Structure 1
């Protein structure tokens, strides 16, 4: 190879090598359309501000459901057998309705005997009166002494007393005869039956129990602080075990507290015919007079670790988790007692998907109201 050609090739190779090294050592210029990085929004949310509303105060309580009053129907006579039963547990009865009958034969025989005794006493009285009249006539002629005439008058008085006694015995026997028909003492429903067909009764044996008027009441248990806020006539709403709600009215507030539990009973009368039944245990609330409340939709509240939080939205559209204290609830709203200002916007729903400090996109609410 000629010397001049070899030199030319060496120079060309050196230029290429320098170009490659320069491309590896020189940083590439930044793209012209790159912009500074920004925090990406995690969620689109609607916001709502707390509202001031007038809400009734509420006392939460629980207690048993029991009969307003129970009537005990007993046997009033003894030695008689139950001949028939005309009512059972759950029977709706009217006052004076026959619930059972006792075998009346023994009492009927006693009645016949007393009728005969009355007839005999009446005849003895007539005889004594007749003797007294004759003694008065004879005595006017001086044939009888005053003592003898007095004896005839005493016999009349004794005969009157004997007749009165016989008539009283007859009335007692007829009362016993009436007691062979066991009657309902009031309108209501039979809650218990211990009467058995054919059983021979003793006086005072319990036969039936009756819920008077079929009236059931809620016996709410309250402490001393709550008790001072309750008044007769206030409305109470009872939640039954099956989920049904019954509205009643405070009938009576106990004047004393139980020494062991430091709690007292408030008696709430429930409507006749409601699904409430004696023996149930129910929770409920008693409505107190209305007062001002700062309220939010219950969907704005997030429960975490047993505490209640809301997410407030700042001007920079970042959220802040705030601990709040809740109070009353009504329909789909909840009262905020502390932890939130009245003019602070909060996330209406979806807070469970947010973290403290997250960026959100606020979208307008579509006709949403509290």
Structure 2
């Protein structure tokens, strides 16, 4: 086919389509003019439900750090000794008095033996000095011994007694040093850090371990100054712990104390909430301190940043299905069906969402008689006509 004929055919087809459209408009226009009061067609079939009055927990949300209640630093009480054994590691659960590490004590034992020998020598000299002093006292009044010599024997007795006390104190110090070659746990708890290494020579006071005392944790919640008056010691709280096969879990705690000051920069105060201790097994077992695989996988750990809430009581509220709430322009709304009108039109009503209870959410801004569109609100606009159908359809 030539290009000229192809163009003519296309133009003829376009004219035919235009004619058909004009003919359809000519037929429909009189029909529309003849029935101006015809009801509009529904935009969507929906189910409705009235808000339900329920009792919901009254809570105060907050965020904060999970930390150890107290962390003890366990250091060396002896100087210039080599570590011979390190018996615990990070994560081990220990008991008060349990041996954590042992220093090489051969030199200390030698010092103890030397101090014990010095004490024996001092005691022997004291016996001799006492005998001499006793004879001097007996002869002091007879004139057989000069007063100067008597005084010298009495002074020698006192000096010998002092030497015995010094030698006894030195022996006690060396025995104490020997006992401290065994590093003991000061309290029950969990080892959180280990610096000790076998063969290291540690100075006096050098850090060896850190201990989470009694394995206790606390949640340091940051609460605004305006909300502090709603809190008090003993109030129940719960902290969200993420992880595990069941998803997010809540760990319950109790408010121990409220900080007496508010941060001048953030305007937040710390609220200290006692949490359950770290999970673990008995320290007497061979695998002491290793977490049991059956325990909560979502257990809180020091250093985590967690959200939580304080349980302030209960409150009554109207709730709607969660899927009934739609977000428009950054605000929460629901669609309410106007039951009084002949055509079921929906009206977009702004609400203030509150606490959740299962698949329902508390809202403010509705009456108990309102008929709320349960689902499908995302496809509606304000003023749309809907068809209300029973919930089972």
Does residue 68 in structure 1 map to residue 69 in structure 2?
Answer: yes
Query: Are the equivalent residues in 2 in contact too, given 1:43–1:360 (CA < 8 A)?
Result: yes
Kindly state the Cα deviation for residue 59 of structure 1 after the two structures are TM-superposed: 1.1
Kindly state the Cα deviation for residue 236 of structure 1 after the two structures are TM-superposed: 1.5
Counterpart among 302, 317, 320 of residue 347 in structure 2: 320
Kindly state the Cα deviation for residue 47 of structure 1 after the two structures are TM-superposed: 1.8
Q: Which stretch of the first structure deviates more once superposed, 189-198 or 138-147?
A: 138-147
Partner in structure 2 of residue 5 of structure 1: none
Distance 1:168 1:259 in 2: 54
Kindly state the Cα deviation for residue 244 of structure 1 after the two structures are TM-superposed: 2.8
Partner in structure 2 of residue 289 of structure 1: 313
Q: Which stretch of the first structure deviates more once superposed, 93-102 or 347-356?
A: 347-356
Kindly state the Cα deviation for residue 99 of structure 1 after the two structures are TM-superposed: 0.8
Query: Are the equivalent residues in 2 in contact too, given 1:241–1:281 (CA < 8 A)?
Result: no
Distance 1:287 1:330 in 2: 14
Give the RMSD, CA atoms, in angstroms.
2.1
Partner in structure 1 of residue 249 of structure 2: 244
Partner in structure 1 of residue 274 of structure 2: 269
Partner in structure 2 of residue 303 of structure 1: 327
Does residue 340 in structure 1 map to residue 340 in structure 2?
Answer: no
- TM-score, normalised by the number of residues in structure 1: 0.85
Distance 1:331 1:96 in 2: 49
Unaligned runs of 5+ in 2: 1-29, 280-295
Q: How does 1:178-189 map to 2 (within 5 A)?
A: 178-189=179-190
Unaligned runs of 5+ in 1: 1-28
Kindly state the Cα deviation for residue 182 of structure 1 after the two structures are TM-superposed: 0.8
Distance 1:166 1:176 in 2: 15
SS in 2 for 1:148: helix
Q: How does 1:152-163 map to 2 (within 5 A)?
A: 152-163=153-164
Partner in structure 2 of residue 197 of structure 1: 198
Partner in structure 2 of residue 6 of structure 1: none
Kindly state the Cα deviation for residue 233 of structure 1 after the two structures are TM-superposed: 1.7
Kindly state the Cα deviation for residue 234 of structure 1 after the two structures are TM-superposed: 1.6
Q: Which stretch of the first structure deviates more once superposed, 302-311 or 266-275?
A: 266-275
Query: Are the equivalent residues in 2 in contact too, given 1:234–1:288 (CA < 8 A)?
Result: yes
Counterpart among 303, 312, 316 of residue 279 in structure 1: 303
SS in 2 for 1:228: helix
Query: Are the equivalent residues in 2 in contact too, given 1:241–1:280 (CA < 8 A)?
Result: no
Q: Which stretch of the first structure deviates more once superposed, 186-195 or 356-365?
A: 356-365
Query: Are the equivalent residues in 2 in contact too, given 1:300–1:348 (CA < 8 A)?
Result: yes
Distance 1:259 1:147 in 2: 78
Q: What count of residue pairs does the alignment treat as equivalent?
A: 335
Structure showing greater radius of gyration is 1
Kindly state the Cα deviation for residue 60 of structure 1 after the two structures are TM-superposed: 1.1
Does residue 260 in structure 1 map to residue 265 in structure 2?
Answer: yes
Counterpart among 382, 387, 391 of residue 356 in structure 1: 382
Q: Which ranges of 4 or more aligned residues in structure 1 deviate by more than 6 Å?
A: none
